[in-house]
Amino acid sequence: MRTDPEENEIHALRTLAGPLAGKRVLEVGSGDGRLTWRYAAEAGHVTALEPEAERVERARRDCPAALQPIVEFVNLGIEEYAASVHTDRFDLAILAWSL
């Protein structure tokens, strides 16, 4: 099974996001990290929220070594996360298939 080998999704994301270098990114509903792996190396830091524990475990297990200092997987939904942190933290939020 191959999903988006044409890389249309990451191309569209890059086009709209512009350069990610040094930026703090919030990904809401990151699932098993499928999209995260494709852009995280370009970002300053990624906080990836996913409420399903099983998916977070899979993402942490599969996270490439080079991305481990950059990506933080958080097993929370947006409501719980927003209640636990300060505001004005992120340059960019990505909602990929999560609304």
Partner 1 sequence: MAAEGMVHALSLIHELLKPGGFLIDLHPGKEKPEFSVLFPDGSRFVGHLEETDDFVEYAQAQSALERVVSDGLYRLEHAGEFPFVSHAARFAEMEAFLAENWKDAVLTSALRAEAAAAFRLPGAQEIQLVERVAIARLRRVDQGAPKSMVK
Interface pick for partner 1 out of 67, 70, 76, 96 (rule CB under 8 A): 96
Interface pick for partner 1 out of 26, 43, 56, 59 (rule CB under 8 A): 26
CA Rg value for the chain: 13
Interface pick for partner 1 out of 5, 53, 65, 69 (rule CB under 8 A): 5
Least separation, in Å, of the C-beta of 3 and partner 1? Answer: 5
Q: What span, in angstroms and rounded, lies between the C-alpha atoms of 88 and 17? A: 18
Chain centroid, CA 52 distance in Å:
14
- By CB under 8 A, residue 57 contacts partner 1: no
Count of positions on this chain that bind partner 1 (CB under 8 A): 31
* Cβ atoms within 10 Å, residue 40: 23
- By CB under 8 A, residue 76 contacts partner 1: no
User: What does DSSP assign to residue 72?
Assistant: E
